Structures are given as C-alpha cells and as structure tokens.
Amino acid sequence: MARFSACAHLLVALRFAALRLVAVRFAAVQFAALHLVALLLVAAGASAAEIGASPVVKLSTAVGPAFALGKAGERWAKLVAERSGGKLPARFFPGASLAHNDPAREFIALREGAADLAVGSTLAWSTQVVELNVVSLPWIAPDASALAAIAEGPVAERLLAAVERAGAVPLALSVLGHREISLFGAAPRSPAEFAGMKVRVAATPLVTDLFTSLGALPQAMAIADAHAAFRAGTLDAQEGTLATLAAARLDTFGVKHVLLWDAVAECAVFAANKAAWNGWTDETRSIVREAALQAARELPALAQAENAVAQAALGVRGVTVMRLTATGRAAFAAATRGVYDKWAAVVGADLVSATEAAAKGANR
C-alpha cells in the first residue's frame, strides 16, 4: 500500500512538472511573438518617417470659404498640400470650430496647439494681441489705399512682431476690408442720430466702446437671437463686413438701409503654432511660409470682389446703400475721438504715429 502511495505521488509530481514546462515554453513563445510585433511596428514607423509621412495639419479660420477670409484659408491649405506633394496634408477647419466656434478665442487655440495654422482678423485677435487694435482705430484707415499702406512695410512688420511676442509664428499680413452698418431706418448722417440705437456688434472691446461713445446700445448676440430681435423690433442695426450683412439676409426682417462708414478696418493675419513650426524641417517651413504669402497676396482681390457682389445683391433686394461723406466722416471721427485716444494709449503712441503716417502717406 505504501509503495502504491509513493508511486501516485511521483505521478502527480511528474504531471505538475510537465504542465509547468509547457507554461514556461508558451510564455517564451508569447514574449517572442510580442517582441516581433513591436519590431514590425517600429519598422513601419521608421518607414513612414523615411518617406516623409506627417500628421494632418489643422488650419483654422473664423468663417467658411463663402467669405474672402475663409477662402484665403482654404487656398492656403490647398497650396501647402500641393507644394509638399501630399506629404503635409492640411485640413481646413472653418467657423472657428477649433476654438469652440468663437473667433475671439481662435488665437488662443492657435497658440495652445488646437490649430497648427490659422488665418484670423486683426480685430478678432486683438483681444490677445493688443497692438492689432491699431488697425481698427476709428477712421485711422478710412479707405482701401490707407489700409493697404498699413498692411505693408514697417507697420506690418511691427504688427507681425507683436503676434510673435504673443506666442505664435507670424507668416503674412493682408488687407481684409472695412466693417459697415445695416439699419431699419435711414442711415444716420450725424453722430447724434445713433443715440439710443440698439446695435448688434462684434464682441470686441474697441467696437463696443465706439458705439457706446455715440450713445448707441451695443449688444453681442448669436445670429439666431439677432434674427429674433429684428423680428420683434427690439434691435435696430447690425455692424459687420458688407458680405456678412448681405449673407444674413436682414432685408427679410425689414432692414433696408446700409451705411458704408468705414470706421473700423481689418487686416488678415496668417500664422502658425510655435511648437508645430519648430517641429518641421526647413523645407516644410519654407513651403508653409511661401504658401501663406501667396494666399495673402490673393486675398485683397477676393475681398474686393466679395464686396462688389454683396453690394449688388443688396441693391437687387431693394436695400439702400449710402456712403458717409468726407464731412460726415470728420464729424463722426470728432465725436469718437475719446475712443481713439483711449485705445491709442493701449496700443502705444509710437505704433499709432507710425500707422497714421503710413495711412496718410497713401493718399498724398
């Protein structure tokens, strides 16, 4: 009986040892397989790097390609993809979708890396880059020639330097245009006529101050809320670019007048995220920069064509478009001088003086 018991114990021990040997061999095979997979993945990654494969570049604009600014962004993305031979695919994100649909936060999104590239309005980015407010000082650049003079030369270099100090890589500056006003009633011919007028405005401090100084009641609101307010008769006017005013179809709510007063000007800034830029090769940077410069050169013509189409469309719909006279402009500029001086102090006297000189020199 003792002999049988000993044999049984020996069999159990041998069986356990065999199972343990199988487990060890399986673990070794499993480790080898995992190691092989890892080596293949590394090799695949190396191959991708060797052929220049890159992640998609995210390019942001506040508006879509139906507008000149958005079209410039779309054009930039296309040029980058074409000139890199597809190695640097650029995806276009309109509507400030990378900045929670808020144009005022687009520069933050660019600086923090939510976007790799962006084309933004100097007005929208001025809340983060205060020097950009100089472009929108009331009537500092009252016509296309004056605005073009600002977008080129020493002033442009200083504005791009300010963008760099604020945390992005500036690549180009271009003329965008002026902001106008659509109204229920006849266009105001004197500053006093703005008193008590409820106006939908861009949510920027400078524009808010401008209308407040005229005695108006500026309000920032979503487009759906603005439409409801126009229907209810609780909103009197809206400021914006001529193209956005035409696209909003405010005439369907009885808004039948547009005042071209050219008080607030805008340029477009083409810029890159600093971390993305630093991670690119010199060749890639050159492609991105040259593509930005070309898109910037094409933008003024796009903006002019956009305004012409918008004005024609407004005329067809029975909207009266009136341009402020030189005398009227002088009266409005005098009435808002306090706003000009306040923001000139924020921007810096030296930059304001240089901008004034550039704008005045364009019309001599």
| Joined tokens for residue 246 | 């035409």
The pLDDT assigned to 52 comes to 43
Whether residue 205 contacts residue 279, with contact meaning beta carbons closer than 8 Å, is answered with no
DSSP per residue, 130-142? GGGGGGGSTTSS-
Judge residue 254's burial from the number of C-beta atoms within 10 Å of its C-beta, 0-12 exposed, 13-18 middle, 19 or more buried: exposed
pTM of the model: 0.84
CA distances, 85 to each of 47, 276, 350 (Å): 17, 19, 44
Q: Using alpha carbons only, give the angle 34, 39, 43 rounded to the nearest 5 degrees.
A: 145
Half-sphere exposure of 149 (CA within 13 A, CB side): 18
For 157, the enclosing helix (H) or strand (E) is: helix 153-165
Beta-carbon neighbour count of residue 316 at 10 Å?
Answer: 9
290: left (phi over 0), alpha (psi -120 to 50) or beta: alpha
CATH class of 57-361: alpha beta
Backbone angles phi, psi at 332, to 5 degrees: -65, -40
Whether residue 245 contacts residue 258, with contact meaning beta carbons closer than 8 Å, is answered with yes
The shares of helix, strand and coil residues in the chain, as percent rounded to the nearest 5, are 60, 15, 25
Name, in order, each residue with C-beta under 8 angstroms of 15's C-beta and a sequence gap of 6 or more: none
Backbone angles phi, psi at 197, to 5 degrees: -75, 130
Helix axes 68-83, 282-316, angle to 10 degrees: 150
| Joined tokens for residue 117 | 């590239």
CA distances, 104 to each of 99, 109, 125, 225 (Å): 8, 10, 6, 19
Could you state, in order of their start, the residue ranges of all structural domains in the chain?
A: 57-361
8: left (phi over 0), alpha (psi -120 to 50) or beta: alpha
DSSP per residue, 85-129? TTSS-EEEE-TTGGGTT-GGGHHHHHHHTS-SEEEEEHHHHTTTS
Per-residue pLDDT of the chain (364 residues; tens, 9 = 90+): 444 344 334 333 434 443 343 333 434 434 343 333 333 333 333 333 333 445 899 999 999 999 999 999 999 999 999 999 999 999 999 999 999 999 999 999 999 999 999 999 999 999 999 999 999 999 999 999 999 999 998 999 999 999 999 999 999 999 999 999 999 988 899 999 999 999 999 889 999 999 999 999 999 998 889 999 999 999 999 999 999 999 999 999 989 999 999 999 999 999 999 999 999 999 999 999 999 999 999 999 999 999 999 999 999 999 999 999 999 999 999 999 999 999 999 999 999 999 999 999 887 6
Return the amino acid letter for 242: L
| CA separation for the pair 241, 126 (Å, rounded) | 17
DSSP per residue, 278-311? HHS-HHHHHHHHHHHHHHHHHHHHHHHHHHHHHH
Judge residue 43's burial from the number of C-beta atoms within 10 Å of its C-beta, 0-12 exposed, 13-18 middle, 19 or more buried: exposed
The pLDDT assigned to 32 comes to 40
| CA separation for the pair 49, 32 (Å, rounded) | 26
The pLDDT assigned to 185 comes to 87
| CA separation for the pair 81, 114 (Å, rounded) | 19
167: left (phi over 0), alpha (psi -120 to 50) or beta: left
The residue ranges of DSSP E strands in the chain, in sequence order, are 57-61, 90-93, 117-121, 168-183, 198-200, 217-219, 237-241, 257-273, 320-323
Beta-carbon neighbour count of residue 31 at 10 Å?
Answer: 10
The pLDDT assigned to 54 comes to 55
Name, in order, each residue with C-beta under 8 angstroms of 182's C-beta and a sequence gap of 6 or more: 237, 238, 239, 240, 245, 248, 250, 255, 257, 258, 259, 319
